[in-house]
C-alpha cells in the first residue's frame, strides 16, 4: 500500500508541484500561495495514475460504497478510473446546474439512499468539495468520505468539514510533500521554513 511519502514522490517526479516563493500564485479564492499543485498533469502519466488509482481503491474497498462520484472537472477522470477498478457505478457533480435540458447538477445514475465516495484531485479551502457533497446529499445520496490526491492541510478546513458533518481524507498532505521535497533537495531549509510558515498563517477570504 502506498504511503503519503510515496504519493509526494510521484507529485514531485511528475512536476505537478510548482514552487515560487518570490512570486506567489493567486488562487481562485484570492489566496496568495508560494506553492501550486496541478494534479491535472498526472492524468497524462500512465505509471503515476495507475499508482494513484490503486491507492484510492485500496482505501475505498473497506468503505463498501455503492458508487463513486467525481467533481467536475478535475475529479472526473480519477473517479472514472476508480469506478472502473472497483466495478462500481460512476456519477459526477457539476459546479453549477445546467441552464438547459434537464438542468442536472449530477450526471449519471445512482439511486436515492445509496452510498458513495466523492473524489477530488485537490482540497485547498474545501469549500467547493463541500458544495459538491451537499448536492449529492440533496439528491438523497450518502457521502461516506470526500477523498483527494492532495490537501494543503489548512486548519480551517477541518472545521468547515466538521460543520458540514462530512469526513475527508487525502493521499498526501502539504507538510509531507514539503518534507519529502526538502529530503530530495528540491527545497532548501530557508524555503522549507517559509512554505511551512505560510501554510500556518493563511487566512481564508
pLDDT of residue 116: 98
Please, which pLDDT band fits residue 97 given cuts at 50, 70 and 90?
Answer: low
pLDDT at 100 over 50: no
Structural domain count, the chain = 1
The pLDDT tens digits for 73-88 are 999 999 999 999 999 9
Structure-block grid coordinates of residue 138: 440533496
Region 52-72: what's the mean pLDDT? 97
- Whole-angstrom distance, CA of residue 13 vs CA of residue 25: 21
Nearest to 176 by CA among 196, 155, 200: 196
Range of the domain at 12: 4-201
Residue 182: which CATH number?
3.40.50.2020
pLDDT at 101 over 50: no
Output the pTM of the full model: 0.94
Amino acid at each position: 500500500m502506498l504511503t503519503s511519502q510515496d504519493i509526494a514522490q510521484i507529485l514531485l517526479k511528475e512536476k505537478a508541484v510548482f514552487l515560487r516563493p518570490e512570486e506567489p500564485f493567486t488562487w481562485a479564492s484570492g489566496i496568495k500561495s508560494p506553492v501550486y499543485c496541478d494534479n491535472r498533469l498526472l492524468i497524462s502519466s500512465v505509471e503515476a495514475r495507475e499508482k494513484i488509482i490503486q491507492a484510492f481503491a485500496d482505501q475505498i474497498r473497506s468503505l463498501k460504497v455503492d458508487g463513486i462520484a467525481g467533481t467536475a472537472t478535475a475529479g472526473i477522470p480519477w473517479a472514472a478510473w476508480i469506478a472502473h477498478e472497483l466495478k462500481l457505478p460512476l456519477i459526477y457533480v457539476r459546479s453549477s446546474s445546467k441552464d438547459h435540458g434537464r438542468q442536472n447538477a449530477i450526471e449519471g445514475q445512482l439511486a436515492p439512499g445509496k452510498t458513495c465516495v466523492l473524489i477530488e484531485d485537490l482540497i485547498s479551502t474545501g469549500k467547493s468539495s463541500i458544495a459538491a457533497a451537499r448536492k449529492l446529499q440533496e439528491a438523497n445520496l450518502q457521502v461516506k468520505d470526500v477523498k483527494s490526491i492532495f490537501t494543503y492541510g489548512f486548519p480551517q478546513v477541518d472545521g468547515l468539514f466538521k460543520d458540514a458533518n462530512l469526513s475527508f481524507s487525502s493521499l498526501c498532505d502539504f507538510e509531507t510533500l514539503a518534507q519529502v521535497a526538502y529530503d530530495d533537495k528540491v527545497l532548501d531549509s530557508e524555503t522549507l521554513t517559509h512554505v511551512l510558515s505560510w501554510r500556518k498563517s493563511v487566512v481564508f477570504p
